[in-house]
Amino acid sequence: MTNQSLSVRDAIIQRRSIKAYNGQPVEREELLTILEDAVWAPNHQLREPWRFVVACGKELFDLYEVLKEFAIPKWKDLTAEDLEKQMKKFTTPGGYVFVIVPEDIRQKERLEDYAAASMLIQNVQLLAWDKGIGSCWKTPGFLDNPKFREALGVQSGERIISMLQLGYYDEMPKAAKRTSVDKLITIFGESK
Ligand SMILES: Cc1cc2nc3c(=O)[nH]c(=O)nc-3n(C[C@H](O)[C@H](O)[C@H](O)COP(=O)(O)O)c2cc1C
């Protein structure tokens, strides 16, 4: 058993997407343990439709070079100081997990695989939260850029569905409001 401190309910309702990190590194072993547990996500026919590109140690610096090029289109015209400022949202997380999913040519399977990988990502986010590590699922447009894909070793027939940033944070964001389920539920057989 791991030292889980939050109930499932508390992890679900207390988790917040963290978008401002304090720069503290995430230990590789910690990140790999989270992934090891997260792969228990349900997935149809046990296709396990995922693989990961992880960066959390010294390789982060190589990743920044790649991100700079794709995330900051005019980086060549910026002063070093402005570039550093703009890169902050990429350089302050303590780790990255890019989640790569096969693009099955059959629509049903493709949707199932995306759904399964999304459950895995939620697992990662909850397991990380339980360890005091914040995270945010990010989907910047450059994830589909052929050159960015190439830099990550993504093959044709695969898609990067998430740039998951993880790390420690100083400020807890306010909860993003959710619609009460009263407004979303129709009791079967009753008209709305
Ligand atoms: C599929 C998906 C894509 C997302 N993409 C982004 C993104 O590109 N940038 C971002 O800041 N947040 C992104 N988010 C995070 C959401 O904005 C966040 O979950 C939402 O604001 C609710 O906040 P909470 O997670 O703290 O409740 C994404 C979340 C999901 C599930």
Q: What is the pLDDT of residue 68?
A: 96
- Residue 89 beta carbon below 6 angstroms from any ligand 1 atom: no
pLDDT in tens, 88-118: 999 999 999 999 999 999 999 999 999 999 9
Question: Reading across the β-sheet that carries 51-55, which strands appear in turn?
Answer: 51-55, 95-102, 158-167, 134-138
Torsion over CA: 165, 22, 35, 125 (sign)? negative
Mean pLDDT along residues 14-32: 97
Mean pLDDT along residues 150-161: 98
Separation of CA 138 and ligand 1 centre (Å): 6
Would you say residue 191 has pLDDT above 80? no
User: Which DSSP string do the residues of 112-152 spell out, in sequence order?
Assistant: HHHHHHHHHHHHHHHHHHHTT-EEEEE--GGGG-HHHHHHH
Q: Where are the domains of the chain?
A: 8-183
How large a percentage of the chain has pLDDT more than 90?
95
- DSSP structure class, residue 169: -
The answer to whether 21 touches 134, Cβ cutoff 8 Å, is yes
Separation of CA 113 and ligand 1 centre (Å): 20
Q: Which residue CA neighbors atom 4 of ligand 1 most closely?
A: 138
Would you say residue 192 has pLDDT above 70? no
Would you say residue 1 has pLDDT above 60? no
The answer to whether 41 touches 120, Cβ cutoff 8 Å, is yes
Domain 8-183: which CATH number of 3.30.70.1350, 3.40.50.2300, 2.30.40.10, 3.40.109.10: 3.40.109.10
Q: What is the pLDDT of residue 73?
A: 85
**CA-to-CA distance for 183 and 192, rounded, in angstroms?**
10
Q: What is the pLDDT of residue 188?
A: 95
Q: What is the pLDDT of residue 3?
A: 66
- Residue 17 beta carbon below 6 angstroms from any ligand 1 atom: yes
Binding residues for FMN are 15-17, 44, 137-139
Closest among 55, 62, 64, 66 to 26, alpha carbons compared: 55
Mean pLDDT along residues 35-49: 98
